[in-house]
Amino acid sequence: MSSTAIDHQIMWSRLIAVVEEQATTLVRTAFSTSVREAGDLSAGLFDQQGRMMAQAVTGTPGHVNAMAESVTHFADRIGPQNTFEGDVFITNDPWLGTGHLHDITVVTPVFRKNLHIGYFACTAHVVDIGGRGFGPDANEVYEEGLLIPITKFAERGDVKPLLIELIRANVRTPDQTVGDMYSLAACNEAGNRRLQAMMDEFNIDDLQSLSNFVIEISRKATLEAISKVPSGTYHETMQVDGYDAPVHMEVILTVDGDVLTADFTGTSGMSRFGVNCPEVYTRAYACYALKCAIAPQVPNNTGSLEPFRITAPEGCILAAKRPAPVSVRHVMGHLVPDVVLGALDKAMPDTVPAEGASALWNIQISARASDPASGLPNCEVLMFNSGGTGARPAHDGLSATAFPSGVSTMSVEATEHVGPITVWRKDLREGSGGAGAFRGGLGQIIEIEPRDGYNFYFNAMFDRVENPARGRDGGLPGQRGMVELADGTRLLSKGRQLVKNGQRLRLSLPGGGGYGDPKTRDREAVAADLAAGYITADQAKTDYGFET
């Protein structure tokens, strides 16, 4: 390896540290619990053409991989003639950003010695962006909140006051939302300071040579990994709940040497509700699933993403057209890896996990005074929750773990701090993991009640209630999810609903599917599951053939 290649390899490693510090700054300064507690964000460095060079480990695939496309839109829309030192760009356009209005993407051009050399970019989910709020009930994107086109948040260092006032006038949480925008800009600035110090150390003034090295090495490594997958055409279908009607997902995976395509032709058409998914988000999660299974060791950047060719017919639920409602696009998007991995399992058996809960069980709570004359303030609370992951070929699934999104579950204390609710219960859900030689991960049971003086509305956006996570290779499905009051009154899995003071909302989150024949599970593992309360005595006997 030449001395130049060695220097590039060292600088590449340093770039990972640069963008990780960028992301850490966002976590530390963010106002929204979804960012500082759950890590629902992304951060990365891009070259002058908008190609992603490095991404922070902290963050979600839906943000990172979608952002890898969105920065090119900023570069094209604003153009080099209008890009100045001190500028900060912004958008939350679902089709040019990361799929829905609640994600704000901020891009900051990088200059060195008065020359534009690249961009820092980051994305974060804000608690409120106006409209109906974070939920699936809208029939057009116009109802879902304020859309900020690609524009300048700041020009030559001066923040645009009209943009700030416009946003403050259209959201329920003006201080929080605007504060998060400043946090996004600050995180890019932190990345820029660290990058400039690195470039001083290595005595370089542009990123082009380093970017070419990173992207080309990653592309070659990914193509080599794809070439090891047996050539052929592999097909998979999956039915998921949808809103008012089931959704049929279908993918055709074609491998021809080092060329891999995933085509979602045959997937259901768009919904009239906000479960639609822009294609950018579908590509983000399809690429993530394939890369995890085929090339997990290759760092994530434009070079490692481009070899995966993902297409969906325009107008299907996974390639929604404007002005479709897309607020909870994560519900469909998080289920994309399950159907993609199902197809890949036919090419690479004993590699991919069983299906999991997959889609986050996010809940947006709007707390309102039960007596409007009381003067109690309105509050917006966002809570992220996760069911169980599917069992793996040689390991049990993970309980209460977000996959594929990778976000953390918010703590009860942090959630209760921002709104008038009490979380009375947050337990693993006994018996919810699918039986198998390796057991599916468990879901949770969560109970939430409005505090004295308040009712709350909640926006349900839950899946795997009608269609559980399927097991693989003889494994059994995980348990379905359930939405109800603590007294057993059943509620809807999607849509805005009321919980009155004195009532308690109970969410029973789905479990992951099992892997392999349950009767072959190690007897000591069955006994340990039973002792820990992971399975019931009836399950031990019926599913595993285990006599206590």
Residue 548 has pLDDT above 90, yes or no: no
Q: For 295-304, write each residue's pLDDT tens digit.
A: 999 999 999 9
Q: For 58-88, write each residue's pLDDT tens digit.
A: 889 999 999 999 999 999 999 999 999 999 9
For the segment 240-263, the average pLDDT, to the nearest whole number, is: 97
Up-side HSE of residue 333: CA atoms within 13 Å toward CB? 33
Peptide bond preceding 377 in cis form (omega within 30 of 0) = no
At residue 33 the predicted structure's pLDDT band, cuts being 50, 70 and 90, is confident
Residue 208 has pLDDT above 70, yes or no: yes
Among residues 307, 306, 302, the alpha carbon closest in space to that of 53 is found at 302
For the segment 325-336, the average pLDDT, to the nearest whole number, is: 98
Residue 168 has pLDDT above 60, yes or no: yes
Domain ranges of the chain: 3-219, 353-548
Residue 302 phi/psi, 5-degree rounding, is: -55, -40
Q: For 79-112, write each residue's pLDDT tens digit.
A: 999 999 999 999 999 999 999 999 999 999 999 9
Locate all alpha helices (DSSP H) within 257-322, ordered by sequence: 279-294, 302-305
CA dist list (Å): 223 to 79, 185, 217, 257, 309: 32, 35, 10, 9, 12
Residue 1 has pLDDT above 70, yes or no: no
Residue 3 has pLDDT above 80, yes or no: no
In percent, the amount of the chain with pLDDT more than 70 equals 99
Alpha-carbon distance of 30 to 3, in angstroms, equals 41
- In one-letter notation, the amino acid at residue 64 is V
pTM over 0.85: yes
Q: For 268-292, write each residue's pLDDT tens digit.
A: 999 999 999 999 999 999 999 999 9
Alpha-carbon distance of 417 to 337, in angstroms, equals 34
Peptide bond preceding 109 in cis form (omega within 30 of 0) = no
Q: Which two tokens stand for residue 109?
A: 């051009």
Sort strands 115-125 and 103-112 into parallel, antiparallel or unpaired: antiparallel
Residue 313 has pLDDT above 80, yes or no: yes
Residue 358 has pLDDT above 80, yes or no: yes
For the segment 127-156, the average pLDDT, to the nearest whole number, is: 97
The pLDDT assigned to 112 comes to 97
Residue 4 has pLDDT above 90, yes or no: no
DSSP notation for 527-546: HHHHHHTSS-HHHHHHTT--
Q: For 505-529, write each residue's pLDDT tens digit.
A: 999 999 999 999 999 999 999 999 9
The pLDDT assigned to 547 comes to 81
Q: For 460-492, write each residue's pLDDT tens digit.
A: 999 999 999 999 999 999 999 999 999 999 999
For the segment 435-439, the average pLDDT, to the nearest whole number, is: 98
For residues 136 and 86, the answer to whether their CB atoms sit within 8 Å is no
For the segment 131-155, the average pLDDT, to the nearest whole number, is: 97
Element (H, E) at 494: strand 494-499
Alpha-carbon distance of 213 to 325, in angstroms, equals 40
In percent, the amount of the chain with pLDDT more than 90 equals 95
For the segment 394-399, the average pLDDT, to the nearest whole number, is: 98
At residue 410 the predicted structure's pLDDT band, cuts being 50, 70 and 90, is confident
Alpha-carbon distance of 503 to 486, in angstroms, equals 7
Q: For 9-19, write each residue's pLDDT tens digit.
A: 999 999 999 99
Sort strands 454-461 and 494-499 into parallel, antiparallel or unpaired: antiparallel
